[in-house]
Structure 1
Amino acid sequence: MDVVWDGVRCAEQLRQQAALVRHSLADAAKTGDWAQVFDVLSAHSDLVNVTRLDGPSLYAPLHQAAHGGAPVAIAQRLIDMGAWRTLQNARGERPVDVAERRGHRQLLDILAPRCKHSVPLGILLRIQGLFHDVIRGRIVREFKLPEQELRLPELEPLLELDLPEMWFPVPGMYGGFRFRIDQTGVNATLISESWSRVVDGSGHRHLITSEGTKLVEEGFV
């Protein structure tokens, strides 16, 4: 099963019922109604890292747990369901940073990132910026889609995964971007494969390092 980076930010990108589910999840997490949060996630586990539609804070449920000082067991359950410890809010804070700022020291240990792969942060952010350039080049200039309605992928959560790979579906593109870290350390490499299933030969494969981006294959799919 693919790990998905859900970049949807606007309610208008979704059907009404799907938007209502996300609003319900965001409301429950903000008020600390964890029974309701887990009721929603039991049916929609893929939403564990999503944020409020049309909201500015980019708080996922684990950020809300950190903000409100939820019991450690709540944070652990969210993490067990796939919540990322390294996901950032709009201020650039991870859940552990929110908990520290709010004085919820009992959560610092459980929220401390546990990365299974290592890439120096400066190198990772450089690669991330170049990856975003690739995404914009395709969805804005090639497919004429509004980039401002999407939350582009952050790469740090990849480091938490056994297999550092995700799928980023793009509404309106009828496809998206599959991306993975192929090498780690100072020689870290990101491989991005993107396509639209309604456009023959639209496949692009890019190899991205901190030194630049190279289109290594095109025309597949």
Structure 2
Amino acid sequence: MIRRLDAMAVESSAQWDGVVRRDSIKEKWAAERDRLSDAAHSGDWETAFRVLDENPEWINSGRLEGRSAYGPLHQAAWHGADVETVGRLLARGAWRTLRSTDGTRPVDIAVQRGHQHLVALLSPAYRHPQPQDTLDRLRTHLHRLIHHRSGGGTGTDDLATRHALRLPDPAVLTELDIPHLWFPVPGMYGGFHIRLQGSELSVDSWVRVVGGSERTDLVTVDGVRLQEGGTL
């Protein structure tokens, strides 16, 4: 029997915001995302925190239609924000391991720009360390599964591709106390709940408007073991 995911488990999980296209969300939310990105880009932290008060799930979100994929913590590292500001971002769930489009973490930016007062604070603390090769292989196969499931299992015209989503990086799970991640997909009326278990990912997914769509697949370094048997 498929394990029905407890809604509380999703609510208590960190969230990966993969939305990068403006037309993937309502106009009013896009305007608020812009407000957050503009504030972080200019170092206006009080405005940024006001937006995050209303939308805490955006703590790691980049600019819509942006190229760098800098989240608020990347911007704080770039500006050399004070320790208190960076501490407030971290307390809200900003990820030290989150990489920008070019693979840069917040700590890398702090080092490059000579903001030595932030280097120790931004250095990742790994609760569930994994070799980089393992994380790279898990990421590849997780993305294959997301494309497969968000296309209704057909692997064609999938929602992840249609919305040009930024797909989850399992590396962020290694710094979380509870290594669970929720990845909602626009148009899917559901999404993916990803759990790091040893060196594997247990991935629950479902479509809320389709009864019986809940399923659990297993992502390993060698591929994806599908719930119904076989591999992807």
| TM, length-normalised to structure 2 | 0.88
Is this contact kept in 2: 1:178–1:194, CA < 8 A? yes
Runs (4+) off by over 4 Å: none
**Partner SS, residue 82 of structure 1:** coil
Is this contact kept in 1: 2:141–2:223, CA < 8 A? yes
Q: Which residue of structure 1 aligns with residue 27 of structure 2? A: 16
- Equivalent positions of 1:143-154 (< 5 A) are 144-147=158-161, 149-154=164-169
Task: String of CA shifts for 1:6-57, please: whole Å, max 9, x gaps.
Answer: 1111111111111111100000000011111111112221111101011111
Q: Which residue of structure 1 aligns with residue 146 of structure 2? A: 135
Root-mean-square deviation over aligned CA pairs: 1.5
2: distance between equivalents of 1:75 and 1:110? Answer: 8
Inter-CA distance 195–86: structure 2 relative to 1 (3 Å threshold): same
Per mean C-alpha deviation after superposition, the further-off stretch among 136-145 and 78-87 is 136-145
Q: Which residue of structure 1 aligns with residue 57 of structure 2? A: 46
1:104 Cα deviation from its structure 2 partner: 1.2
Q: Which residue of structure 2 aligns with residue 109 of structure 1? A: 120
Residues 1:189 and 2:200 are matched in the alignment = yes
Per mean C-alpha deviation after superposition, the further-off stretch among 200-209 and 169-178 is 200-209
Q: Which amino acid aligns with 2:94?
A: A
- Equivalent positions of 1:1-221 (< 5 A) are 1-140=12-151, 141=155, 144-147=158-161, 149-183=164-198, 188-217=199-228
**Partner SS, residue 14 of structure 2:** coil
Inter-CA distance 146–211: structure 2 relative to 1 (3 Å threshold): closer
**Partner SS, residue 150 of structure 2:** helix
2: distance between equivalents of 1:182 and 1:104? Answer: 35
1: distance between equivalents of 2:158 and 2:42? Answer: 38
1:203 Cα deviation from its structure 2 partner: 2.7
Is this contact kept in 2: 1:176–1:196, CA < 8 A? yes
Report 1 or 2 for greater relative contact order, CA contacts < 8 Å, sequence distance ≥ 6. 2
Q: Percent identity?
A: 43
**Partner SS, residue 216 of structure 1:** coil
Q: Which sections of structure 1, spanning at least 5 residues, go unmatched?
A: none
2: distance between equivalents of 1:145 and 1:181? Answer: 24
Tell me the matched-pair count: 214
